[in-house]
Structure 1
């Protein structure tokens, strides 16, 4: 199988997105056990990395939604080109890095969908998008999944407190190790597949793979490894927000939130729904906070997270659309896109060092001396 330079660049960029997805979404599984002390921070991210790796091999239904559903096929194959996919990935990665810098648990999945949609619309037109798949497999799950997970977490938290009482709650910490592990496994079954779908879509678009087929083994293996490595780096800024910013998580809450997150993600993966594990996890944390006491939820922080959810897809679509306009210049356009993307990523990384968050201070709430808004979010949780 011969691959052009553009296709190789797209595959490399897709794997980098997979890496950012890993560290961006580590919080989904491990924020609450880290916050309650059920797991040490470094051990937690290592465990999540291994289970993400394993989970990526368990299903390919979500990958097929992306590679054979979201983007329509024309007479000559899928309507999207590798150059458009490249632009879409630029939009997704840039938005992931922005929300990571701000410590906001936004959706890597919707950033990816937004990027692909924005690039395809600018490059081909609105008819390139299958509205039915977009609505049924992406948009509707985005609204209903967090609500369902939140309701389940609310009920589970009520039951957990009733069973255990408010005295001895240490037993739930051990339970959190099990439930957080299930979340990490479920995350691998859903999120790693999205990059598999992008690479498969690229191969189909260039004729290197037959339309309607699923990801090949080498695609599954490399995507699994990329998301596992990203997870191991730990998304400490987002772990801090999800673990202590929305509500002060107790062991029963953490247990209930993780159990509801797992159930929702696994059910959606089975049905091929490409939902956001971040939205599900955040909805579960809010639901568990309400299950303990409605005043326990910090609604200002939750509101900022909800706002990030709403603008993720259109924001990444706009960035990708701009990148696609530049990419139309040919090779020079691809190079300019790549340089601009690298420049933005390095700039955000350097800004993040002014207020570094790592495993040693992830549960601390510092005084907001940094210009980065994430520090203010954490301070408001005090």
Structure 2
């Protein structure tokens, strides 16, 4: 039963990575597709490859997830907690994908972990949740909004005398690089979150000691993230690429470069698992506000922010319910 539960939990973890990939593929490429810098097929292929590469670039975020949020539970109850947490996250991913809402897969996972842990009477490290989840969740969109605005102001000033047609053509080419950088940062952040959960499962089952990430876990997470990314998340892509503002190549470049830079800094310096969805959405809003405040469709933005707020509690509630159901069934 123990081995079966481990295999099932790891399988569900990698399926979560797949849903994360198709749900969040819009993060890296929506702006490039909407500005016609890349064709959809080329953008998805590039994003899939860069997401895979990013999964191998670090382990700090994975260790934060595996050690910093909940006490590593033990025995069959521990495996049930992880399974329920993943089901809660997957459920929220699918619901928000269906409605085209760019919510955070990361915060769905964190909410699932907290909700399942509470239902299973396991210890939640609230200081870790506050420092590593809540504070970055609030700060990263604010930073993305401000830096995106400033980056776009700088571009407008630097190219104020340039030929508009040539400038757009140049930034359209530059978006190939900025989109690749964003996809790499997404892989660096999001693939590691699943790695952290798999390490927890291996630890609970007694298969592994310590927080090191086995190479096969890295490969599997990277591959599943890439497959999910290539499947594409067209519903979310339309929201990010067209419904918030009408993007042009310089704006797309500014938003992607802003987001990618912040992703790398938070991954390597703070090892904080931030939401790529929150970051790119806020960056797009900041960039769009340089046209004029009304250029941003704030009604759409308000719905997105409301989705951000309810993501963790909604995933937590589903995970808690799933824990009760599974615990009753196996108990």
TM-score by length of 2: 0.95
Is 1:111 aligned to 2:131, yes or no? no
Q: Counterparts of 1:264 and 1:129 in 2: how far apart (Å)?
A: 28
- The 3 A distance-change label for structure 1 pair 80 and 20 is same
1:308 Cα deviation (Å)? 0.3
Q: How far apart are residue 78 of structure 1 and its match? A: 9.1
| CA distance in structure 2 between the aligned counterparts of 1:229 and 1:117, rounded to whole angstroms | 28
Which residue in 1 is equivalent to 2:245? 247
The answer to whether the aligner puts 1:135 opposite 2:130 as a matched pair is yes
Change (3 A) 1:114 1:228: same
**Alpha-carbon deviation of 1:164?**
2.4
In the TM superposition, what are the counterparts of 1:1-382 in structure 2 within 5 Å? 4-73=3-72, 81-125=78-122, 128-165=123-160, 167-168=164-165, 169-210=168-209, 212-270=210-268, 271-331=270-330
- Structure 1: distance between partners of 2:63 and 2:211: 8
Q: 2-side partners of 1:54 and 1:87: how far apart?
A: 29
Q: Could you list the runs of 4 or more consecutive aligned residues of structure 1 that deviate by over 3 angstroms after TM superposition?
A: 77-80
Q: 1:261 to 1:213 in 2, by over 3 A?
A: same
Deviations 1:30-87 (A, max 9, x none): 000100000001110110000000010000111001111111257xx69960111111
The DSSP-based 3-state class of the residue aligned with 1:68 is helix
Query: Which residue of 2 is the match for residue 360 of structure 1?
Result: none
| 1:135-165 CA distance string (max 9 Å, x none) | 1111100000111111111011112122223
What are structure 2's unaligned runs of at least 5 residues?
A: none
Task: Tell me the distance in 1 between the aligned counterparts of 2:274 and 2:56.
Answer: 18
1:364 match: none
Say if 1:71 and 1:130, in contact at 8 Å, map to a contact too: yes
Tell me the distance in 1 between the aligned counterparts of 2:284 and 2:261. Answer: 14
* 2: CA distance, partners of 1:257 / 1:101: 25
TM-aligned CA deviation for residue 214 of structure 1: 2.1
Deviation at 1:330, TM superposition (A): 3.7
8 Å contact 1:109–1:275 — kept in the other structure?
A: yes
Partner SS for 1:247: coil
Distance change in 2, residues 1:284/1:79 (3 Å): farther
Structure 1: which 5+ residue stretches go unaligned? Answer: 334-382
1:138/1:78 CA distance change after superposition, 3 Å: farther
CA separation in 2, counterparts of 1:290 and 1:59?
A: 34
Deviation at 1:95, TM superposition (A): 0.3
Deviations 1:239-269 (A, max 9, x none): 1000001101111110100010001111111
CA distance in 2 between partners of 1:196 and 1:184 (Å) = 18
RMSD: 1.6
For residue 24 of structure 1, report the CA deviation from its aligned partner.
0.6
1:191–1:80 Cα change, 3 Å: farther
**For residue 377 of structure 1, what is the aligned residue in structure 2?**
none
Q: Is the contact made by 1:72 and 1:79 (CA closer than 8 Å) also made in structure 2? A: no
